């Protein structure tokens, strides 16, 4: 099997026949042996019925139906697990990505790349989406150290099979798959300019909330990347520093008091010392942060619910 095309979809009934026909045309023209993996992410329209109909004329389709909407990341993850092709290509279902790009993406992987990410150099999306996206990409480039990508979240990407088998896409991580790949040790990450079309049918499945979620993910991937294996190192270290500051202030206060007693000079009651309150706060915050780190450590060792999605049907 040369290529697995993985397509997550949520209420895309109008696009599917055109999309699958287009993919078939490109594959036949190039003589590729392929499969199309459609993951229905809990559509409430007739997407699943359309897929059942398509299966009759497209035996190369494998389709998975989620019990409800679990998000694009979960859908991609299921597709990645199922994929058997040497090269795995992901694509959105809404005809914004062009199957005509498949041969060039395939060739780039064959020539040694681990991951080739599409770059929608000329985009057909509103400014309210493209401007925040530019900022996200700049921040992600900085934090991940992957400096050659302009468009981390492009739905059109190609992977060497090992890459998709080595990563776990969960939560909202579909925006940062190149970062996950880099962490897994796949560093040959390339970019390729791809065509982009306006959405032909239906509307975008992500509202304005995407930017809030995207930002939280960015912070969390940074955190996980730096401290994921040891959250204790982050919270714990600050906690210990804070605790030590409080501890040494207390020592100083005790020393100061003893000196006053020894010299028979007047000394202020401890509650009149501003430093006393500072030490109290530092010790309390230090203890709290240390415990937070401890809990984060326990949670990170037990995060087994990343892949809790339920499959209703497979064809
Ligand atoms: N999608 C999905 N689950 C979701 C939301 C979206 O599988 O919860 C799919 C959607 O059907 C499409 C792709 O993810 O195939 C990209 O979504 P969309 O086109 O709405 O995003 P945009 O192009 O606006 O970034
Ligand atoms: Mg789209």
pLDDT at 305 (0 to 100)? 57
- Let me know if residue 128 belongs to a domain: yes
Ligand 1, atom 8, residue with closest C-alpha: 71
119 ligand 1 Cβ < 6 A: no
CB 97 less than 6 A from any atom of ligand 1: no
Q: Which of 152, 6, 153, 8 is nearest to 80 (CA)?
A: 6
Which atom of ligand 1 lies closest to the CA of 39?
7
Q: What is the reported pLDDT for 226? A: 63
Q: Is the pLDDT of residue 302 over 70?
A: no
Residues 199 and 148 in one domain: yes
Contacts of 106 (CB under 8 A, 6+ apart): 2, 3, 30, 32, 87, 89, 158
Please identify, among 201, 227, 253, the residue that sits at the C-terminal boundary of a domain: 227
Tell whether ligand 1 has an atom less than 6 A from the beta carbon of residue 172. Answer: no
Near ion ligand 2, which residues have CB within 5 Å?
92, 94, 96
Claim to verify: residue 146 and residue 251 sit in the same structural domain: no
Examine the pLDDT at 123 and tell me if it is beyond 90: no
71 Cα nearest atom in ligand 1: 8
From the list 245, 229, 230, the residue with the least C-alpha distance to 285 is 245
Model confidence at 130, pLDDT cuts 50, 70, 90, reads confident
**275 and 261 within one domain:** yes
Ligand 1 center–CA 98 separation, angstroms: 15
Q: Are 104 and 187 within one domain? A: yes
Please report the ipTM that was assigned to this predicted complex: 0.98
216 with 249, same domain: the answer is no
The pLDDT tens digits for 40-58 are 999 999 999 999 999 999 9
Average pLDDT, the chain: 90
**Most ligand 1 atoms within 8 A of CB, residue of 5, 8, 73 to mutate:** 8
Same domain? 101 vs 41? yes
164 occurs within a structural domain: yes
Ligand index nearest the alpha carbon of residue 130: 1
Mean pLDDT across 109-123: 95
314 found inside a domain: no
Residue 159 sits in a domain whose CATH number is 3.90.550.10
Quick one: pLDDT at residue 154? Answer: 94
Q: Residue 40: CB within 6 Å of ligand 1?
A: no
Is the pLDDT confidence value at 304 over 60? no
Decide whether any atom of ligand 1 lies within 6 Å of the 92 Cβ: yes
Share of the chain above pLDDT 70, in %: 94
265 confidence band (pLDDT: 50, 70, 90): confident
Asked which of 198, 227, 256 is the last residue of a domain, the reply is: 227
pLDDT score at 269: 80
Distance CA 160, CA 88 (A): 6
pLDDT (tens digit per residue) in 198-229: 888 988 888 777 777 777 777 776 666 666 65
The total number of structural domains in the chain stands at: 2
Report which protein residue has its CA nearest ligand 1's atom 10. 9
Do 296 and 148 share a domain, yes or no? no
Does one domain contain both 26 and 161? yes
206: Cβ below 6 Å to ligand 1? Answer: yes
Specify burial of residue 249 (Cβ count, 10 A radius: 0-12, 13-18, 19+): buried
Whether the CB of 64 sits within 6 Å of ligand 1: no
For the CA of 91, the closest atom of ligand 1 is 15
- Kindly state whether residues 179 and 236 are assigned to the same domain: no
CB 103 within 8 A of CB 30: yes
Mean pLDDT of 140-149: 91
Ligand 1 contact, 10 CB (< 6 A): yes
103 shares a domain with 239? no
Report CA(144)–ligand 2 centroid distance (Å).
25
pLDDT computed for residue 10 by the predictor = 97
Residue 239 neighbours by CB distance under 10 Å: 21
Residue 70 lies in domain: 3-227
- Interval between CA 115 and ligand 1 midpoint (Å): 21
Task: Give the span between the Cα atoms of 1 and 3, in whole angstroms.
Answer: 6
């Amino acid at each position: 099997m040369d290529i697995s095309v993985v397509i997550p979809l949520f209420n895309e009934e109008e696009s599917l026949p055109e999309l699958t026909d287009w993919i078939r045309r490109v594959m036949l023209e190039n003589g590729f042996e392929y499969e199309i993996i459609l993951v229905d992410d809990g559509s409430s329209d007739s997407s699943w019925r359309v897929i059942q109909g398509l299966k009759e004329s497209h035996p190369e389709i494998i389709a998975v139906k989620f019990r409800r909407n679990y998000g694009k990341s979960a859908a991609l993850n299921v597709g990645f697990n199922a994929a058997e092709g040497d090269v795995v290509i992901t694509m959105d279902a809404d005809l914004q990505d062009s199957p005509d790009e498949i041969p060039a993406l395939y060739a780039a992987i064959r020539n040694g790349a681990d991951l080739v990410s599409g770059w929608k150099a000329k985009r057909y999306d509103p400014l309210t989406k493209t401007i925040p996206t530019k900022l996200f990409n700049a921040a992600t480039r900085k934090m991940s150290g992957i400096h050659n990508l302009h468009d981390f979240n492009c739905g059109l990407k190609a992977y060497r099979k090992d890459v998709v088998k080595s990563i776990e896409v969960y939560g909202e991580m579909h925006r940062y798959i190149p970062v996950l790949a880099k962490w897994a040790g796949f560093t040959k990450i390339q970019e390729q300019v791809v065509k982009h079309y306006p959405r032909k049918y239906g509307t975008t499945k992500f509202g304005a909330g995407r930017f809030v979620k995207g930002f939280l993910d960015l912070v969390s991937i940074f955190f996980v990347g730096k401290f994921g294996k040891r959250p204790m190192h982050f919270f714990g270290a600050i906690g210990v520093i804070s605790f030590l500051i409080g501890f040494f202030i207390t020592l100083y206060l005790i020393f100061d008091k003893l000196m006053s007693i020894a010299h028979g000079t007047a000394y202020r009651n401890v509650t009149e010392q501003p430093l006393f309150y500072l030490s109290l706060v530092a010790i309390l915050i230090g203890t709290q942060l240390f415990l937070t780190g401890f809990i984060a450590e326990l949670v990170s060792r037990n995060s087994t619910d990343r892949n809790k999605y339920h499959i209703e049907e497979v064809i």
